[in-house]
Structure 1
Amino acid sequence: MSRTVALTLAVLASWAALASQIRAEPLDLGLPRELDPSKFELFWFDDFDKFDLSADGFGRHKWFNGLWYSKPAPLDLFSHSDGILRLATRANKGALISTLSPKVGGHETAFSYGYFEARLALSANAANWPAFWLFSRDHARGTDGNHWCEIDIFELFASKFAGTVHEWIDFKNKQNRNNLVTLPQGTDLSQWHTYGMTWEPGKVTWYFDKKELMSAATPKICDSQELFLILNANTHDPAVEQFLSVDWIAVFRWKP
Structure 2
Amino acid sequence: MLFFTKLKNLTLSYILFSSIFSITSMFSVANASGEALKLDDFKLVFSEEFDRFLSISPWGKNGSRWMAHTPWNGDFGDAKFSNPKNGFPFTVHEGILRIEARKNSEGKWKSGLLAANPKTPDFQLRNGYFEARMKLPHGRGVWPAFWLIGVDRSNYTAEIDVVEHYGHWPDRFSSKYHIWRAKFGGVNTNNYIRTYVPEGSLSNEFHTYGVLLEPEQLIYYFDRKEIWKVPRPKEFSMNFYPLVNLALGSGWPIDETPNPSYLWIDYVKAYSPK
* TM bracket (short chain): 0.7 to 0.9
**Higher alpha-carbon Rg:** 1
Q: Which moved more, 1:45-54 or 1:67-76?
A: 67-76
Pairing of 1:64-79 with structure 2 (within 5 A)? 64-67=67-70, 68-70=72-74, 73-75=82-84, 76-79=88-91
Displacement after TM superposition at 1:134 (Å): 0.2
Displacement after TM superposition at 1:195 (Å): 1.3
Aligned to 2:265: 246
Q: Quick check: which one's strand share is greater? A: 2
Select 2:197's aligned residue among 183, 194, 198: 183
Pairing of 1:26-175 with structure 2 (within 5 A)? 34-50=36-52, 51-54=54-57, 57-67=60-70, 68-70=72-74, 73-75=82-84, 76-90=88-102, 91-100=108-117, 107=120, 109-139=123-153, 144-145=154-155, 147-157=156-166, 158-159=169-170, 160-171=172-183, 172-175=187-190
Q: Secondary structure at the match of 2:152?
A: helix
Displacement after TM superposition at 1:100 (Å): 2.2
1:171-228 CA deviation, whole Å, 9 max, x = no partner?
3421224x11111456242311111121112311222212221222221010x22111
Q: Quick check: which one's helix share is greater? A: 1
Structure 2 distance, partners of 1:136, 1:99, is 12
1:213-247 CA deviation, whole Å, 9 max, x = no partner?
1222221010x221111110012244424221111
Equivalent residues of 2:219, 2:229 under 8 A apart: yes
State percent identity of aligned pairs: 28
Aligned to 1:235: 248
Equivalent residues of 2:136, 2:202 under 8 A apart: no
Q: Give the TM-score of the pair, scaled to structure 1.
A: 0.74
- Computed over aligned residues only, the root mean square deviation of the Cα atoms, in angstroms, reads 2.4
Letter in structure 1 aligned against 2:136: L
Structure 1 distance, partners of 2:159, 2:150, is 6
Equivalent residues of 1:52, 1:61 under 8 A apart: yes
Q: Secondary structure at the match of 2:175?
A: strand
Q: Which runs of 5+ in 1 are unaligned?
A: 1-31
| CA gap 1:167/1:70 in 2 versus in 1, 3 angstroms | closer
| CA gap 1:37/1:182 in 2 versus in 1, 3 angstroms | closer
Displacement after TM superposition at 1:55 (Å): 5.7
Letter in structure 1 aligned against 2:231: A
Q: Give the TM-score of the pair, scaled to structure 2.
A: 0.69
Structure 2 distance, partners of 1:116, 1:56, is 23
Structure 2 distance, partners of 1:121, 1:169, is 33
Q: Which runs of 5+ in 2 are unaligned?
A: 1-33, 76-80, 103-107
The alignment of Structure 1 onto Structure 2 pairs a total of residues equal to 213
Aligned to 1:18: none
Structure 2 distance, partners of 1:81, 1:184, is 28
Structure 2 distance, partners of 1:61, 1:42, is 20
